[in-house]
Amino acid sequence: MPVASTDALAPGSLLAGPLYAEVKRRITQSLMSGEWPQDAALPSEAQLAQRFGVSGGTVRKALSELVSERVLVRRRGLGTFVASRNRDYMLDAYFRVVDAKGRKRFPDSELLSFQSLQASPRVATQLRIKAGAPVLCIDNLLFLEGRPVILDCIVVPAAVFPGMAEPGFRDRDMTIFGYYQSRFGVTVTRLDEWIRAENADDRVASHLRLAPGSAVLAIERLAYTFDGTPVEHRQRWVSTSEHAYFNTLGMKAQAEA
């Protein structure tokens, strides 16, 4: 039979905050370290409770926060999993562009270019790497209902995605974040976006089939992984002639009593 785990939290130790927060940090660290393989379930509530020497309710509270932050998903009868960055997840959690009727659809994409370059000072600062460090730059055009609506210029540190190259990227059968996750073990857990309006330059206007000078959304976006390290910079231009960026805050609608 197994002996008491060394992970058990000392009962009298001085913690910065509540116990469940410490449990959450420990679980996050295990997720980061790759202790639990992709697509496999985490240990059950009862096992985690025993491992950390806390009650099931405390583990549940830690896991529930990670679920609400969309890091984990739990399925009754099955277990707790790292949320897979698949199409349905991305459309639901991260994709914000809707059509005139408010509908979201998964876009088709066309890879425009894939280059190995050196980080510009500006993007390097954002990614917290050295200016001139090797990066991969990917230009991608996204279509909704056959029309080009979104132009993306993705910059990722080469060190974070060792061995990434155009063929593998082009032939992936999944979302970009899903590719990061399954191929490189990099799970995006947070997105920050800064949205501005710009007059489209010739390149942007041409790709989005707009008149030069047309107003477009310019979205600068940073994606982070568990420990807050930025892993992707994306400059996105969105044509809002037929679409809008949708955002909602506050109380969800409640079903009738």
Partner DNA sequence: TTCGATTTGTTCGTATGTATT
Partner DNA sequence: TAATACATACGAACAAATCGA
Q: How far apart are CA 175 and CA 57, in angstroms?
A: 35
| First-last CA distance in the chain | 50
Please report how close the Cβ of residue 168 comes to a copy of itself at its closest, in angstroms. 26
Interface characters, 76-115, with a copy of itself (x: CB under 8 A): -----------------xx---x-----------------
Q: Long-range contacts for 20-28 (Cβ within 8 Å, ≥24 apart)?
A: 20/54, 20/58, 20/59, 20/61, 20/62, 20/65, 21/62, 23/48, 23/52, 23/54, 23/58, 23/59, 23/62, 24/62, 24/65, 24/66, 26/52, 27/62, 27/63, 27/66, 28/66, 28/71, 28/226
Query: Can residue 197 be called a binding residue for a copy of itself (CB under 8 A)?
Result: yes
Phi, psi of 232 (to 5 degrees): -155, 135
Please report how close the Cβ of residue 100 comes to a copy of itself at its closest, in angstroms. 10
Q: Find which of DNA, a copy of itself, none residue 72 binds, CB within 5 to 8 Å per kind.
A: none
Q: Which is nearer to DNA, 19 or 144 (CB)?
A: 19
Interface characters, 79-108, with DNA (x: CB under 7 A): xx----------------------------
Query: Can residue 253 be called a binding residue for a copy of itself (CB under 8 A)?
Result: yes
Q: How far apart are CA 31 and CA 72, in angstroms?
A: 10
Q: Find which of a copy of itself, DNA, none residue 183 binds, CB within 5 to 8 Å per kind.
A: none
Interface characters, 117-156, with a copy of itself (x: CB under 8 A): ----------------------------------------
Q: Which of residues 7-36 bind DNA (CB under 7 A)?
A: 17-20
Burial of 31 (0-12, 13-18, 19+ CB in 10 A): buried
Query: Can residue 70 be called a binding residue for DNA (CB under 7 A)?
Result: no
Please report how close the Cβ of residue 58 comes to DNA at its closest, in angstroms. 3
Which amino acid, 215?
A
Contacting residue, 27, 31, 42, 124, with DNA by CB under 7 A: 42
Q: How far apart are CA 244 and CA 230, in angstroms?
A: 27
- Provide the b/e sequence for 81-111 (b: ≥16 CB within 10 Å): bbbbbeeebbeeebbbbeeeeeeeeebeeee
Interface characters, 44-63, with DNA (x: CB under 7 A): xxx--x---xxxxxx-xx--
Residues that bind a copy of itself in the complex, under the rule CB under 8 A: 16-17, 21-22, 24-26, 28-29, 66, 68-71, 93-94, 98, 188-199, 213-217, 220, 224, 226, 228, 238, 240, 244-255, 257
| Contacting positions for DNA (CB under 7 A) | 17-20, 41-42, 44-46, 49, 53-58, 60-61, 74-80
